[in-house]
Amino acid sequence: TQLRQLLEQRLRERLKRLAAGSGTIIVSLVLNSNGQLIGRPQVTSPQGKLFTELAQSALETMTFPPFPEGTRATDIQFKFVVDYKQQ
């Protein structure tokens, strides 16, 4: 979806600013219709704790857009994988 693509793009941008190394992150998070995080995102990475903590921190400080008008759901869970390469 368009919102999922936006989440992935923003997370990649944050990781780049934090000078994270290359790796993969698996993310599960819930947003309400106003674009607010519900609970703490679940983040795992084969690259270990440091990479996971960087991604977790980035997600918790990001702002998300509200759901598009006409969306019936009040909360949506997103699960996605982000492959990141430091350039």
The predicted model gives 36-59 an average pLDDT of 86
Q: Alpha-carbon distance 72 to 15, whole Å?
A: 32
Regarding pTM above 0.85, the answer is no
DSSP state of 37: B
Q: Alpha-carbon distance 33 to 14, whole Å?
A: 23
Residue 32 token pair: 């309400």
Residue 54, CA distances (Å) to 12, 37, 67 in order? 11, 17, 26
Tokens 């990781």 map to which residue? 15
Report the percent of the chain where pLDDT is more than 90: 23
State the pLDDT at residue 1.
Answer: 64
Number of residues written out for the chain:
87
